[in-house]
Structure formats: C-alpha cells, structure tokens
Amino acid sequence: MTRLFWLLMASSALLAQPAKPLHAQASSTIDYTPTADGFGTIEIRNVSYEVVTNVPGRAPADRLLLRKTIRSKEVLGDMGMEANVSLEAWRLGDDLRQRSLFTLNVEGNEANTKDNALFVVSRGLEEVEWWSVYKLGNGQHLFDTYVPLESFSISRETVTTRYVGLEVPPDDTKDARLKQPNVIGVSTYASDSRVMHEILLTSDDRQQARLLRSFADVTRTLSVTLNPSPTIRISFTQDFPSPPNPAEVVIPVKGDDLDLKNAQLPAKLHAAVWKR
C-alpha cells in the first residue's frame, strides 16, 4: 500500500511539472530556374506549425504540435506537378529533436486539419481532384474521396460528427471487385476513428455505369441536408457539350445508420452494403 501511494504521488508530480519553453523555426523556400523557352521550373517548400487539442485517440490532456511541410516541383507549361505532404506530430513541450509520435508522408499539394480530428490531403496532382483522409491522432488512413469531404452531426443535442465521401475507382484500382463494369463508386460513412459503412453503387446498364464513373464526362457532387433528418445526396451531372441529364442518389440517415431500404435511386441504379 505504501509503495503504491508513493508511486501515485510520483506520477502526480510528473504530471504537475510545468511544460518546458519551446522555440522552433523553419524556413520556407522558393527556387525558380528559367529556361531559354521562357518557361522553367518552380520548386517550393512551405513549412507551418499548428497546435491542436482534444484529438480523438489521444489522452484528453494531450496537446499536439504539428509540423506540416509541403514540397512541390512544377515545370511551367507541363501538365501536373510533383508534390509531397509531410506531417509530424509531438506533444506540445516535447523537444522537436526527439522522434515524433508519428510521421505521415504522402503525395499531395495541400493539406489541412479538420475538427481537430482528421488530416485531409489534396491528392489531385493531375487533372482529377481527390482527397485522402487520415486520423489526426496517429496518421492512419481512413478513406479516399473524389468529392470534397462532407461532415454533419447526427444529434441535435450533442455534437456527434460523421463524415461522408465518395470514391470513384480509377482504372488502375488495386481492388479487382471495383473493376467490374457495373460499378459506379463507393460512398463512405465514417466517424473520426473508423469507417462505419461503405455503400457500393452499381448500375444494370454497363454504359450508364461507365458514364457515371467517368472523370472526363461527369461532375459529381455530394451534400448533406439536415431537415427533417440527415440525408446524403450524391449527384451526377454530365459535362458540356452533353446535356446535363442530372441523376441523384438519396440515402437517408436513420439514427447512426444508413437507411438503404428508403434510399431513392435513378432507374437501373442500386446501392448495397459493401466492405473492403
């Protein structure tokens, strides 16, 4: 009993110790190398710091110091660029010369924290815009989305946030199931700690499926309406010069689940529970 008492006292003393002062700085740089044709190469390195609190998966008392580094290289006149996002995290007050709690490195040209819970990286370095979503507490990947991430609360009394995205599988997707000609995409419903539901959208018409998953011919949007209850809306609109021919998938949220029985879908489209 006495030994336990002193151990508790020692632990309390350690926790009560004031944080050490911290000073850190990092330089952002830009280099431009012109060429004889009037174009050239631009290389940029931007570094920024951010402090976040109440991060899911971390102790309530933890304050995380984040260091985000974005490096990009662009050849003027060429399509796309090379870019990388790096995220490092320490407890606020830790020596930054120590090993970070985690480090995330991923191809991307922009990234931001969301709700002190997620880290969202813009991955679209070519023509197609898409985003990867990671847990801010440990850098683990949650899901990808090819429309901007949407968030909403399922409760009017408390903030219980859920996130929704839509993945449209590219031709080189590694999952053979998503290469099937009837597949349109996968909608993801997640909390800040895990993917809760995945919904596979398919069409009985292979030509329609090919059109709705096209990156060149269709614009996709995702939105959430809250009244009278949360409802997810996924819209497909054909790009000019084709007529818009809009199509919309409507999935109600019931409690903390997706109500597929009452989902509204265009003719020949189907929505089914799916899992990776």
For 74-97, how does the pLDDT look when each residue is reduced to its tens digit (9 = 90+)?
A: 998 887 789 999 999 999 999 999
116 lies in a domain?
A: no
Count the domains in the chain.
2
Cβ contacts of 71-75, under 8 Å, gap ≥ 24: 71/43, 71/44, 71/45, 72/42, 72/43, 72/44, 72/109, 73/41, 73/42, 73/43, 74/41, 74/42, 74/43, 75/39, 75/40, 75/41
- Cα–Cα distances (Å) from 184 to 116, 120, 165, 206, in that order, read 32, 23, 14, 9
Q: Same structural domain for residues 146 and 70?
A: no
3-state secondary structure of 43: strand
What is the H or E stretch that residue 200 is in? strand 195-203
The Cα–Cα gap between 260 and 199 comes to 9
Whether 148 maps to a domain, the answer reads: yes
Q: Are residues 149 and 273 in the same domain?
A: yes
The answer to whether residue 132 sits within a structural domain is no
Please, are residues 231 and 262 in contact by the beta-carbon 8 Å criterion?
Answer: no
Q: Domain boundary at 110, 127, 158, which?
A: 110
pLDDT under 70: residue ranges of the chain: 1-19
pLDDT at 16: 41
Are 97 and 218 found together in one domain? Answer: no
Alpha carbon of 102 to those of 69, 70, 99, 138: distances in Å? 14, 17, 8, 6
Residue 77 has what pLDDT? 81
Are residues 76 and 162 both part of a single domain? no
Q: Residue 243 carries which side chain, given as an amino acid letter? A: P
What amino acid occupies position 160?
Answer: T
Do 81 and 170 lie in one domain? The reply is no
- Tell me the whole-structure pTM to 2 decimals: 0.89
pLDDT at 17: 47
Residue 60 shares a structural domain with residue 153? no
Query: What's the domain range around 100?
Result: 25-110
- Same-domain status, 263 and 157: yes
Q: What is the pLDDT of residue 13?
A: 40
pLDDT reported for residue 136: 97
- Please give the pLDDT value at position 18: 54
Residues 268 and 210 in one domain: yes
231-238/257-258 β-pairing: unpaired
Based on the fold, state whether residues 163 and 245 are members of the same structural domain.
yes
| Whether 90 and 148 share a structural domain | no
